[in-house]
Amino acid sequence: MAVTEWWELRGGFITGDVIRWRDPVWQKGKKGAGSFGGQEMRCVGRRVVSAEVISEPDEDGWCYLLIMQHDNVGAAPLDKILALPPVGKKVKRKYKTIMNGEPERLPWENESERERLLSEVWQERDAKHWLGNDEYEDENT
């Protein structure tokens, strides 16, 4: 039986999770001041990107994902978009970028095993600076 229900992603993600999030779509604009590489950039919409997590975020908040699919949602025509997510390729994304994109995940067959692995991975308190969690500050005072 195929699973099509997506769950809200809370508490981080781990290797093996299949996640999706809304990613900004950037479009080239006119050349001028305040531009990136000679091109002015502007956000023209968002797309939904689905990927498998192949590494948890490192100490700087970067993680690696295998892009599985993307869907444009109210974005500019594809020929004007700077870069499409490379389906079938490994990409690097910031944890905060994913978490700002209303992430969801596919449920695991054994959720109790996922919860155990999640607690092992995310118990590192030195990672709070890129997770944006302030819950540990009160413990040190």
Count Cβ atoms below 10 Å from residue 12 Cβ, excluding itself: 19
Indicate the average pLDDT of the chain: 75
The pTM assigned to this predicted structure is: 0.70
| C-alpha–C-alpha distance, residues 134 and 69, integer Å | 33
Q: Which of 9-23, 28-42, 62-76 has the lowest mean pLDDT?
A: 28-42
CA angle 36-40-44, nearest 5°? 115
pLDDT at residue 105, rounded to an integer: 93
Pairing of strands 41-55, 18-28: antiparallel
Does the pLDDT of residue 61 top 80, yes or no? yes
Q: Where are the domains of the chain?
A: 8-132
Report DSSP letters for 22-85, one per residue.
Answer: EEEEEEE---STT-BTTB-EEEEEEEEEEEEEEE---TTSEEEEEEEEEEEES---GGGBS---
Residues 81-102: pLDDT tens digits?
Answer: 556 667 889 999 999 889 989 9
Q: Tell me what the mean pLDDT of segment 102-122 comes to.
A: 86
Q: With bands split at pLDDT 50, 70 and 90, how would you rate the model's confidence at 19?
A: very high
| pLDDT given for residue 123 in this prediction | 67
The pLDDT score that the predictor gives to residue 17 is 93
